Amino acid sequence: MKTTTLARTGLMLGAALGVLVTAGAASACTTKIGAVLPTSVDWGKPIAATAQFAVDQVNEAGGVNGCQIEMVLRDTQVDPKVGVDAAKALVDLDGVRVLLGAVSSGVSMPILTSVTLPAGVMQMSCCSSSTAFTQLAAEGKTEGLWFRTFATSGVQAAMGAKVAADRGYKSVAIFYKNDDWGQDIGKLVAADLEALGIEVTGSVALNDGQPSYRAEVTEALQGQPEAIYLALYPKEGIAAVREWLSLGGTQNMIVANSLKSDEFAENVGLQFLGNTLGTDTASPRAESADAFVTRYTERFESAPTGPGLANSYDATMIALLAMQAAGEGASGAEIAAQVGRVTNPEGTPISADGAGFAAAVEVLSSGGDVFYQGATGNVQFDENGDVSAPAVIWSFTEEGITEQEYISLDEVNAFMASLK
């Protein structure tokens, strides 16, 4: 399935940021929710615009508990300190009880531990995958306030190892960003590669903002790997890959979804990315996921091809459904307690759009539960606020980012089980 470029999508979606559609019956009240998302990077703008798209649909359907929703958006710049400051402002100044975000686990974790947990605010992330959240929840330290619609790093790590095995690579060096997310996925992919009998010649951490990564690249080159695995964001990814190629490193590359970016492809050069394959979680091949693609394309005149878009939509819709179920004036904890009620497999199925939200209002008001059929399928959270997901393998082409292989949820789970 060929896709359009993220750059064009980002420009079109950027215009949608901050737009609050108030078609339909006017409301005398407004309820604020917070969003901390990286709108200063090319792939972050569409994620934020997709969250606003969900808010707009709910407002068109009459809002939450009769009030229009205002999504107050602040930029994290994919920086933990900036993200924490943004979240504090939303909680302390705007009084939000629901916070959407963040994208990077390295930003979401300090927001969770230093802002939302102390304030009793529910946090719903579209795009944080570190297994550190699972551990924290399993220890009872998230107090039921944490959810994410993106599968853990374990899925991407396993798929990265699968790509290496399918390509016949015997040795791989790993570059990972030196933050919570990078450390987590770097450790996981190393274990998965070794479980498949593939030698890990080196595992090298990259710190953000360095003027050069020559020392780190030289270290990794010493192991003479057949391929490299990259768990980096575009800024350091571009710099590291340029150094790698200039010093004669292999063009056999496997990349995490954080590099699913036109910025990365354009600054490295497509001529050097012919042997690059990426991994990402995916929406299931389900009617609800197809319906989201159709509605999204109608809204933005471009398919939802960037990372985290379907996840952002579902995170927003589920949070708003939980607010509706909790009732007007509910606390963050009371809202979080209703997530299971709006994602209940025994409940009434509802579609992921304004009509579905309106239907949910009727069911919930009569004391029933609903089962949200989302952009990422029939969303269900486990006791730690985690979800499972299928996966895709993708590549960079002249036409944009192109899907090469779809791996169903059953296939993902079976492959991950085999690694153990």
For residue range 370-391, list pLDDT tens digits in order.
Answer: 999 999 999 999 999 999 899 9
> How much is the pLDDT for 420?
84
Helices (H), 168-286: 180-195, 214-221, 234-246, 262-268
Q: Minimum mean pLDDT among 262-266, 305-309, 361-365: which range?
A: 305-309
- pTM, entire model: 0.80
* Cα Rg, the chain, nearest whole Å: 21
Residue 27's pLDDT band (cuts 50, 70, 90) = low
CA distance 149 to 380: 9
Q: Is the pLDDT of residue 259 over 70?
A: yes
CA distance 231 to 178: 10
Helix axes 354-365, 309-326, angle to 10 degrees: 30
The encoded tokens of residue 367 equal 């004391």
- Which strands make up the sheet holding 98-101, listed edge to edge? 68-75, 30-37, 98-101, 122-125, 146-148
Quick one: which of 203, 178, 187, 126 has its CA closest to 154? 187
Q: What is the pLDDT of residues 129-185, one digit of tens each?
A: 999 999 999 999 999 999 999 999 999 999 999 999 999 999 999 999 999 899 999
24: left (phi over 0), alpha (psi -120 to 50) or beta: left
Q: Which class for 213: exposed (0-12), middle (13-18), buried (19 or more C-beta within 10 A)?
A: buried
CA distance 420 to 413: 11
Q: Which class for 215: exposed (0-12), middle (13-18), buried (19 or more C-beta within 10 A)?
A: exposed
Buried b vs exposed e over 141-166: b needs ≥16 C-beta within 10 Å?
ebebbbbbbbbbbbbbbbbbbbbbbe
Q: Which domains does the chain have, with CATH numbers?
A: 6-150+284-378 (3.40.50.2300), 153-274+391-419 (3.40.50.2300)
> How much is the pLDDT for 223?
97
Q: Do residues 149 and 307 lie in contact, with contact meaning Cβ atoms separated by under 8 Å?
A: no
Cis before 132 (ω within 30): no
Q: Is the pLDDT of residue 11 over 50?
A: no
Amino acid letter for position 76: T
Q: Is the pLDDT of residue 300 over 50?
A: yes
Q: From the CB of residue 368, how many other CB atoms can be counted at a distance below 10 Å?
A: 14
